Structure 1
Amino acid sequence: MQSLQDTKQTRRIQISGGSTYTISLPKKWVDELKVKNGDNMTIIKNANRSMTLYPGIGAEMPAKKAIITISQKDPEESIRRKIIALYLNGYKTIQITTRGMKILSEHSRLIKDLVRRSMIGTEIVESDSESITIQILTRLPELTFDVALKRMYLMTSSMHREAIEALKKHDVEYGEEVARMDDEVDRFSLYIMRTLMMAIQNASMLYDVGLEQPSDCLNFRTVISRIERIADHAALMAKRTRFLKEPLEPKMLKELEMLSNGVIGCFENSISALVNKDHILAEKVASNIAKVIEDEKELMYGMRESKNSTAIKFILEDIRRTAEYSSDIIEVVINETIQNIITEK
């Protein structure tokens, strides 16, 4: 275990010339970081009144390679979880290998499908009977957080609206097409999660993606997971088209559409409040979400039995869950902006 002396020291700052201050660094720390006399150091001024100092000029982290060994008995979901975990942890190269045996064809298909459908900026660069090598080609950060977030939430909003359209038209094929859009949302979710995990370890990257402090990564991780869940429920709504015994009645369609428009408005405004750090809008959206949930309960309890009752109940639950996840985003906004409305003494 490291001692306090190894991780924290106090040094006196001294003025050097008219506009420069200097501070000495512990020799042991400098040696451990393999920094030499004359090397460049990058200094980051953080929003929390601290500074971060690290070797080098750019923000590039050293390329990391991970090797995992699988067996023919490993469940497909176990292999999938391991690869996703390595992708999220910032590895540039992931090699999947076996102990001198052939990779099962189903395992090979799983890995190739995972790269194609779920991991932005990745390619399989080497493949043989006993190993597959995945290379992450995208340099982080390619997108600022705001841009990536906008793309993800716009896709999710579109999914929700098109799911309602599929239900209105009683079009099963259209519903399946909408549900497949969830794969694209998941890809962005993993990409942003990877960016956040790398940014929390690298102060320079934090600013490059448009965030101010490490705590932002934790809050936005919550936001991304909620958007992903909203997209999941939009996909479920679209899939429920196939379970309708007959087209929905016009009155029920109108009520579902009104409720859906209300909840998607809350979702979009929650993102707007987040991006603009708007506490007043966040409080307004919180009230609107509460009303949408109450409207959903009234519609659920007042619904008469029909051939489509079970499907409609599940659709109403999808809409309610979208409201609840939007409420979680609003909580993040309020936590982030509370300092704007208080007076400290």
Structure 2
Amino acid sequence: MVFIETRKIQQTGGSTYIVSLPKRWAERAGITTGSQVTLQPQQDGTLNIAAEGTSRTQKKKNIIDVNGCVGDDLVRLLIAAYISGSDMIELRASRIQVDQKKIIRSLCHKLIGPEIIEETANSVLIQDLLNPSEVSIKKSVRRMFLIANSMLNDAMQALKDHDLDLALDVIERDDEVDRLYLLISKQFRTVLRGSRLPDTSETTIDEYHDLRLSASSLERIADHALKIAKTAATLDTPIPEDTMELIESSCTTSSAMVEDAIDALYNQNTDLANQVIEKVDGTKTRINELNASLLDLNSPEAIVALGTVADSIDRIGEYGANIAEFAINLSMAMAQNK
């Protein structure tokens, strides 16, 4: 149960304001006479008070029984432990199987921070070595956008040129987007629990919320770029020039919507955000024209494959509109906080 206590501000020395700390909180935090606390002003006007050194010295350890847990079940379990903010994850079993260890090692390589520091026949100890002072959610979301955008552009180029090598390169880049998305999800949960991150004095909880939602849309955009790249890697049928022009023009429109939406989000530009949302109907009209043109192709394989491409381009535009809505929501929230 959370107890809310009030304290009266007093003045000492003519110019210094002082306030007493709740005794129960001080005892729980290990604060005694002579202890130091850190004070971190927040953008919303609140003040974060914490016992000095507690943010990283008190390690959170999660012990997990993985007996009989294999395949995707194990992957989901490890990701959940990572997102929960555990500094240490200890996996235990009567005997950890070779396939389990392969999954554990592979996932540690795909996540930002976790490293295996100890391994025995019946346990694996994972420690998060990430230094939070080197991470900013704003930079992470921006990085997600840049990677997803480059994936989409290169996937379209691979489709146009039948470039297998470029298509495979796009597929490989999807892992980096997933890594950033999971890191952002972890950061957001950390902030929700009241923990301090290096940019919390410059980033409000409203910004964290809408950046986290935008990261989810960017992760989906990267997934659709991945789909297009897979089509480029497997489609053997030549694409007619007029059909390719429709595909490219549709993709350019959707890509521009996402770029403008991100710009609106970071600059809290509601006019630009509304412009993005207003383009949705026009984009769908163009996609309908593209789908109709695909029916004239002679290859059923190409009709199905390029139909998937058209659907991905359509979804990308919709995700851009979603980010634009988050930008409007954030703009309103920030205006109220001023």
* TM-score, L = length of structure 2: 0.91
| AA at the equivalent of 2:242 | K
Paired position in structure 1 for 2:25: 29
- Stretches of structure 1 lacking an aligned partner (at least 5 in a row): none
Mapped to 1, the partners of 2:273 and 2:71 lie a distance apart of 42
The C-alpha deviation readout for 1:158-213, integer Å capped at 9, x for no partner, is: 100111111111233432331121011111111222222223334541x5267532
Mapped to 1, the partners of 2:258 and 2:210 lie a distance apart of 17
**Alignment match of 1:197 (pick from 185, 189, 200):** 189
Deviation at 1:58, TM superposition (A): 7.6
1:319 aligns with 2:300: no
Paired position in structure 2 for 1:45: 41
Mapped to 1, the partners of 2:178 and 2:91 lie a distance apart of 22
Identity of paired residues, percent? 28
The C-alpha deviation readout for 1:192-240, integer Å capped at 9, x for no partner, is: 22222223334541x5267532233222221111111110110011001
> Partner of 2:134: helix, strand, or coil?
coil
What does residue range 281-292 of structure 1 map to in structure 2 within 5 Å?
A: 281-292=272-283
Paired position in structure 2 for 1:235: 226
Range moving further from structure 2, 44-53 or 152-161:
44-53
Paired position in structure 2 for 1:247: 238
1:143 aligns with 2:135: yes
**Alignment match of 2:60 (pick from 59, 64, 86):** 64
* TM-score, L = length of structure 1: 0.89
Deviation at 1:290, TM superposition (A): 3.5
Deviation at 1:85, TM superposition (A): 1.3
Mapped to 2, the partners of 1:213 and 1:61 lie a distance apart of 25
Residues 160 and 234 in structure 1, CA contact (< 8 A), matched pair in contact too: yes
Mapped to 2, the partners of 1:341 and 1:42 lie a distance apart of 28
Residues 143 and 209 in structure 1, CA contact (< 8 A), matched pair in contact too: no
The C-alpha deviation readout for 1:269-324, integer Å capped at 9, x for no partner, is: 11111112222221222223442233212322344332111111110000011111
**Alignment match of 2:211 (pick from 203, 211, 220):** 220
Paired position in structure 1 for 2:97: 104
| AA at the equivalent of 1:53 | I
Deviation at 1:57, TM superposition (A): 6.0
> Partner of 1:208: helix, strand, or coil?
coil
**Alignment match of 2:159 (pick from 158, 167, 174):** 167
Paired position in structure 2 for 1:269: 260
**Alignment match of 1:113 (pick from 106, 111, 115):** 106
| Aligned residue-pair number | 334
Paired position in structure 1 for 2:249: 258
Residues 277 and 336 in structure 1, CA contact (< 8 A), matched pair in contact too: yes
> Partner of 1:95: helix, strand, or coil?
strand
Deviation at 1:245, TM superposition (A): 4.2
Query: Compared with structure 1, are the counterparts of its residues 236 and 180 closer, same or farther at alpha carbon in structure 2 (3 Å cutoff)?
Result: same
Deviation at 1:74, TM superposition (A): 2.0
> Partner of 1:141: helix, strand, or coil?
helix
| AA at the equivalent of 2:43 | A
